[in-house]
Structure 1
């Protein structure tokens, strides 16, 4: 991957359809998500199509699906398929995996195999969709393996469009996505790199508190148009968290074109923009060397 040729790294995109046409979510949940994002009729691009889309824009993208088989009963898109498809486009795609924490030891073995044999660079968790609290000890063996493997864990935080408007929210409990629950994970796994995905409505201040307190907790800005970002998020991104905030779109329900156009209108310092768009992600994902700290 030629970092110098990239204008941005999108750390949050979804593989919504498998090679056999299998969707990552059930039709009801997919329809609810599309309605929430006002994206009815949006195409579900294949990973090959995603690669072409990002290559045209001189961007790289982190790609993942969500394994929520325990909660939803809906079979996942295989992590191996996502990784192999991304490996065919190493100039623009970076594979993450998703493992349902309810899979226990089998999930831990899978995580190790995916990193060592398939080149997976991180893991995605969606606590509300997967039906677990991030601080539940059932997930701790999986966190331990991910920490040892030296790759990041990305947690959905805040409200979700999945299940929105469905009776009972489709059984999805929003409280599992309070970023304060991830604070325990950051304490108990102090070397684990953690990404809090999305502006964390209605817990934005909690997310900022965790990210400023824990040195290896980052925030991605996906899932919202930047014009709707709360002012405190913009303020922290410009100052205290300028090295820990990451560009993410939530493609395909929100495109990087839309996100970047609205981001251009924010009052972000010129020196901070390239950090958010590319440099912070390159460092976190091990695509660029970590700069040495200047001695005090």
Structure 2
């Protein structure tokens, strides 16, 4: 099917939770060049309900939905996502994935290799990187140069009653390092460059503190938790350098509008034939490498090279 703007991308949606329903499915349904081809989920009842809500079929089999779509959208635990992404890329389907790309570097490498071999387009949805004002800020800050250090603090409180993410098993097991660590890194890496060394230390309430060395010698510190006291919830990212101090602004849109932008950019990659998106699976793999090193640094109480 085509529209005045071009062909319509048929998405297979993998996942049935709050994020899948209220962000992924809603944004795909609202996009003029995207449509839902069907839904697959680990809970057949919820998959059926979400599929019925959008008037599309529910698929009991992963590969059957991959066969029925042009691209996949995934809102599942990262280890489950990595396997589905590998199968979809191998089948020539484009990838709109969530962060983190995977929970192991080996799984991330498998996805990257499959995407590169098949030539599919890929975008990993680091939410803040799809707000136009943040994209502009990071580009201008990186171009200014001269940055010596960044400090990031992101305290969430998802385990309170009624929070839609509080029951997530993988978030309980992997904590802030793997859940909001990717968001933090997605803001720091474009300005300071690739991480070369990592040190880490735990604190109370699920806190993890990272000290990072970047290419060229700049450093950054990140403090992250999913279990902060509700009154202490905050997000604060600051760069320090020769030109003074720059504070990363809050995003100027919702997660829903940001996901619509991610769909736009995936379509641009497909339309143009380019495969150089700033948040593609290669960037997802770079983030996973830092998180993997940080996990080792925490466990072994030492500095780890990335």
**TM-score interval w.r.t. the shorter chain?**
0.3 to 0.5
> More strand by proportion, 1 or 2?
2
TM superposition score normalised by structure 2? 0.35
Larger Rg over CA atoms: 2
Structure 1 length-normalised TM? 0.36
